[in-house]
Structure 1
Amino acid sequence: MDKKQKMSAIQKAAVLLISLGPDTASKIYKQLTEKEVEKLTMEISSLRNVTAEKKDKVVGEFHQIALAQKYITQGGLDYAKVVLEKAFGYEEATKMLKRLNASLQVRPFDFAKRADAGQILHFIQNEHPQTIALVLSYLDPEKAGQILSELPTDTQADIARRIAVMDGTSPDVIREVEEILKRKLSATVTDDYSQSGGIESIVQVLQGVDRATEKTILDTLGIQDPGLAEDIRERMFVFEDIVILDNLSIQRVIRECDSDDLMLALRVASDEVKETIFKNMSTRMAVTLQEEIELMGPVRLREIEEAQSNIVAIIRRLEDAGEIILARGGDEIIV
């Protein structure tokens, strides 16, 4: 690698992984997407003669970024700037924060992480539903779910819908809302922005509310926008989530399942899902099912998805009937 040539971000990542060694690198790989792993692997394989000096430089830069991020997490950008300036001087601290801003995004309303749900609720409950939806879409899903649960019942579905259909929001609008809430909470905030809202956002929020609130919101949405409500329901629980059920609930679901659906659904399931299913049936039934899956010929993906959807529908029906319980962030613990 030419010493004078400026390294790209992917090259730096590849050098860092090489420097960390195979054990640590493999752990990092597990946190990446398949596409990211592919890009990094190709880059690593193309590297030649990386000098110790180059490795030290990349590791040092990574350490500085991690250090700056640590201070931001503890007290925001202003706090990080003060600490880094005292430790490394103004010039070096400025460089570190610039590198951090180039590699990391600090979400709007990040300051709200230090406020509890009750405080935020107090300040936003009388705002316009669109403003409330904007704030909730940026909060931690569990905290957003707690706040949504405490809002008036007649506004919950409207706010949930607004989060689900939210697309890009003007940075000026975000900044204005952010500054108002920031003043009320007397906290610090960054000017970096990222995308918020969408179906996945409201799904995460609803997974943090209690079952009663979720049902009220989805039932109301079902009247206002049936297609959206069904889309949200489908994403609230997917086949792979079956592992979160307790053993008795899984056994109850298995009794309701068509054997062909079960066989097809497990064809491409993860090892964790297969193990969870097999351990909740008799040894003989588990062995037979495993053999049938192994002997199964080519199957269309559409058929597998349909079988998994049928099983998810059974789980939903049993939950609605109160025969099984899906653990949710806002639910009380049942013993």
Structure 2
Amino acid sequence: MTVTTTGALPGIRKAAVLMVQLGRDRAAKVMAKLPEPMVEELTAEIVRLQQVTSAEAAAVLSETHNTLFSAENNGRGGLDLAKELLAQSVGAERAEEILERLGATLAEMPFETMRRSDPRQLLTFLADEHPQLIALVLAHLSPQQSAIVLSGFEQKLQADVAQRIALMERASPDIIRLVERELERRMATVMSGTQEMAAVGGVTPLVAIINRADRSTERLILEGLETVNTELAEEVRKQMFIFEDITSLDDKAIQLVLRNVESGDLSLALKGVSAAVREKIMRNLSTRAAENLAEEIELLGPKRLSEVEEAQAKIVTEIRALEQSGQIMIMRGGDEALVE
């Protein structure tokens, strides 16, 4: 029996063979994730393939399987893997130069293992911890993860943790290491802290967390925060953008938002809103479009609050995306007015 190996095959040919074996739909999904120059190179190689023997295809698939599921890789990255990949790409000497130049940026972020954990597991794990420890952990996680965890706490704990995140400025690496050791004991994590003093909290990360929570949780957190620290709650509100704040956008911004929003989401989002919000939207539509929207809202009939809030959240997400891309400007409490 002839055994075919892939050792002598160029990497681009292996990739092309793999794409062919995946089939059109799967290959298209993979190539959609690749940089354009790589797609062009890979496409050219697929054209050059002409014919792939069954032995060659089997060898490529076998190597791919072994690479993905080997105990060495185990689906994880890390400094060692980065060194190995870099050495294979540019040579050992050049790799060392690059790694040395990168220096401290290669240090693992604290709570890296928790970043890879299911937020529901984190909720269970953190629920009985001290609010300050919870705040420290959530400040290191992604806003999406933290929003899910925070939404699972009862309101009093939400408010306490939210306040601690907002007021937290810097944490000593020693404190972070102590927390890490305790969590490592129970979760078998491996973490490290190398920066002299790490910025981990503040109003900005708290706002990011709240912005990614559902409307009910958003309301509960803000109301709870109001009871424990009125000034802080006001500062958080100034940095947030909720659906009702759409009245603060100028007409050009509203028109851009409306071009990026589904009509079904818009009609549902306007159920039960204030007259000011509805008027702001209607004013930026053509007479015919405004009439159609009003009719569509009426035809919807009674809707669950959760459905309305979900539609509003989609529009707020679009508004925040347009702000991030610089296409619109949101005026907040501390912003100065603009002069034409």
Give the TM-score taking structure 1 as reference length: 0.50
Match of residue 163 from structure 1: 165
- 5 Å-filtered alignment, 1:39-58, equals none
1:327 maps onto 2:313 in alignment: yes
What is the CA–CA distance in structure 1 between the aligned matches of 2:105 and 2:177, rounded to whole Å?
Answer: 21
Matched, 1:221 2:225: yes
* Maintained 8 Å contact 2:173/2:194: no
Using the TM superposition, give the Cα deviation of residue 253 of structure 1 relative to its aligned residue in structure 2, in angstroms. Answer: 6.8
Q: How does 1:184-203 map to 2 (within 5 A)?
A: 184-193=186-195, 194-203=198-207
Kept after mapping to 1: 8 A contact 2:127/2:153: yes
**What percent identity do the matched residue pairs reach?**
35
Residue 256 in structure 1 maps to residue 276 in structure 2: yes
Counterpart in the other structure of 1:119: 121
CA offsets per residue over residues 57-114 of structure 1, 9 Å max, x none?
xxxxxxxxxxxxxx9x951224323444566666544332222235677532233222
1:213 maps to amino acid: T
Question: Quick one: distance in 2 between partners of 1:182 and 1:112?
Answer: 10
Contact 1:206 1:214 in 2 (8 A): yes
Contact 2:165 2:203 survives alignment (8 Å): yes
Residue 234 of structure 1, CA deviation = 2.6
Q: Distance in 2 between matches of 1:277 and 1:103?
A: 50
State whether residues 176 and 193 of structure 2, in contact with CA within 8 Å, keep that contact through their aligned partners in structure 1: no
* TM value normalised by structure 2: 0.50
Equivalent residue, structure 2, for 1:280: 285
Q: How far did 1:282 drift?
A: 2.8
**2:246 aligned with 1:230, yes or no?**
no
Change (3 A) 1:153 1:234: same
The offset of 1:199, in angstroms, is 0.8
Distance in 1, Cα, partners of 2:99 & 2:200:
24
Check 1:75–1:323 CA distance in 2 against 1; reply closer, same or farther (3 A cut).
closer
Q: Secondary structure at the match of 2:170?
A: coil
Contact 1:76 1:188 in 2 (8 A): no
CA-to-aligned-CA distance 1:238-257 (integer Å, 9 cap, x gap): 64596487433469879526
Structure 1 position 81 matched with structure 2 position 83: yes
What whole-Å deviation, never above 9, does each CA across 1:210-245 have from its counterpart, x for those lacking one? 222222221121121112112212322164596487
5+ residue gaps, structure 1, are 1-23, 25-70, 263-275, 286-320, 330-335
SS at match of 1:327: helix
Structure of higher RCO (CA pairs closer than 8 Å, 6+ residues apart): 1
The AA in structure 1 aligned to 2:109 is R
Shift of the 323–136 alpha-carbon distance from structure 1 to 2, 3 Å rule, reads closer
* C-alpha contact (below 8 Å) 1:125/1:151 kept by paired residues: yes
**Matched residue pairs, number?**
210
Q: Which has the larger Rg?
A: 2
| CA distance 1:143–1:284, shift in 2 (3 Å) | closer
Kept in 2: contact 1:133–1:163 (CA 8 A): yes
Which secondary structure does the structure 2 equivalent of 1:75 belong to?
A: coil
* Cα distance in 2 between the residues matched to 1:158 and 1:171: 23
Whole-angstrom distance in 1 between the partners of 2:226 and 2:157: 15
Cα separation, 1, equivalents of 2:187 and 2:205: 24
Contact kept? 1:247, 1:280, Cα under 8 Å: no
Q: Is the 8 A contact 1:210 1:328 kept in 2?
A: no
**Aligned-pair distance for 1:139?**
0.6
